[in-house]
Amino acid sequence: MTELDKKPTFLENVEMMINDTIDCIKIDPNISKILKTCRSVIQLKFPVKIKGEINIFHGWRAVHSNHRLPVKGGLRYSTDVNQGEIEALASLMTFKCALVDVPFGGAKGGLLIDPKKYDEESLERITKKFARELIRRGYLSPARDVPAPDVGTSQREMGWILDAYKSSRPDDINHVACVTGKSVNHGGIKGRLEATGRGVCEALKEFFRHPDEVSKANIGNPNLNDQRIIIQGFGNVGLHSAKSLFATGAKIIGIAEKDGAIFNKEGINIIELEKYKQDKNTILDFPNTKTIDVSSDLLTYDCDILIPAALENVITLKNVDNIKAKIICEAANGPVSYRADQKLKDRGTVIIPDIYANAGGVTVSYFEWIRNISHIRMGRLQKRYEEDRGEVILKALEQVSPNKLSKDLTNQLVHGANEEDIIASGLEDTMRVSFQEMLEMKSVYNLDNYRMAAYAIALKKIEKSYLELGI
C-alpha cells in the first residue's frame, strides 16, 4: 500500500493534530485521556410517514466535552454524514469554543439525508421528529445542548426545531435559547447569518496587522487588499467570506462550487456574482470569467490566499504538492488532512487554522444565546445614553471651536451603538484577541505554526477547567 492509499479518517486527522500539540505542551495525562474521546454519542433511527409511506431516518448527536454547559454545535444534513465525522466535528467545537473564550462545551449532530430530495413540508416533518427524539433523550435544551445551522441546514430548520422544543417544553421560559442561528423574527440576532464568513475576514485582517508574521508567508506586498484570493465553496460561509473580503478591496480571482468553478485573474465582482447565482442557481458561465469543469482543479491555481470554505479533507496527499497558495485560511472544518498539513508546514505555507478562522459563527451564536437568556435586545439599555452623551460632547466642541465639524464626524459622535454594531464589535474583538493569544503561545512553547498554538491555548484552558472541577 502506498502512502497515498493510506487515507486517515477525518476523526483520525483531528486526533493526530491534537496528539502533536499534547506532546509539545505536556498537559495532565488524565485530562489528555478525557479529551481524546467523546463523552457521549447517541445514534437515532426514527420513522417518519411521508406521502403515505414510512421512511426510516438515521441521525447522530455527539457531545465531546461538557466541562462547560451548554454544549454547542451545528446540525448538518448530508448523505456523507457518519458517526466518525460527527465525533471529529464535536471535538473541533470543544477546542474552538475554548480558544475564543466562548463558555460552551463541544457537540455536533448530523442526519443522513439529502435535503434537496424532499419538499418543504416533508423536510419540516423530518426535522421536527429528529428534534423531538433529541429532546426526549436530553440532547436539546437551552441549558444542556444548543444546536445551530451547519451544512444542509439554515435558519428555516432552526425555526422548526425551536417550534418542536416549544411544543415539548411549554413551561421553559428560555425556550428561544434552545437553538441559535434562527431568523431575527424568532429570536435570532442580526449578523449571525454572516458571522462565520465575516469572522474569516476578521482573521485575515488581524493576520495582516502583524508585518513580522506576514513576512513569513513570502507574499511580497504586505496588504490584504493586494492579495489574490481563491475561495472553495460559495454557500453561506464562502459567500460571506467573499463579500466581507471584497468589501475591504481584496481581489477574489476564483470561486469553486460543486458543479464547477470560475476564474478571472483580474478579480470577480462578488456582489454581481451573488445576484447571478440567485437568478441562475449556479456560478458557472458568469460573465468575464473562465469556467473550470472540475471544481477541485481551482485549488491548485496560483494565488496568494486559498480559502477552503466547504467540507473537510479537500487538501490531501493527492493534491498537496500542487497547492500554490502562500496562505491557507481554513473557513471550513478540517479542510487540510494531517499529512497534507505536515507537508505544507515543511514547505513554509502559512495555515490559519479552522478552530480560529471559522470561530465567528459560534462567537455570534454565543451572543444570540446570551440575548435569548437575558430576554433583552443588545444595546437597548445604553443606546440613547450614548447618543445623549455624544450630543453633550458635540455641544462642548462647538463652544470651544469656531470651526464647524463635518456631517460625518457629527454623526459618529452622536451615534449610539445598536445591536448590529455591538455584535460586529464583539466579533472583531474576539478574533483580534484570540490571534494575539496564539502569537503569545507560539512564543512561550516555541511552536512553529498557528494550528498548534490554537490547540495549545484551548487545551490549557480546558485542562484548567477540568482540574478546578476536580475531575
Residues labelled catalytic: 108
User: 450-469 and 419-445 helices cross at what angle (nearest 10)?
Assistant: 100
Place of cell 464535536: 90
| Phi, psi of 62, rounded to the nearest 5 degrees | -115, 135
Report the alpha-carbon distance of residue 152 to residue 72 in Å, rounded. Answer: 18
Q: Residue 37 is which amino acid?
A: T
Q: Is 251 helix (H, G, I), strand (E, B) or coil?
A: strand
Report the alpha-carbon distance of residue 464 to residue 457 in Å, rounded. Answer: 11
Sequence-ordered list of residues with C-beta below 8 angstroms from that of 24, at least 6 positions apart, any chain: 445, 447, 452, 456
Q: Distances from the Cα of 50 to the Cαs of 55, 56, 125, 150, in angstroms? A: 7, 10, 8, 24
Q: Residue 406 is which amino acid?
A: S
Sequence-ordered list of residues with C-beta below 8 angstroms from that of 430, at least 6 positions apart, any chain: 100, 101, 359, 360, 363
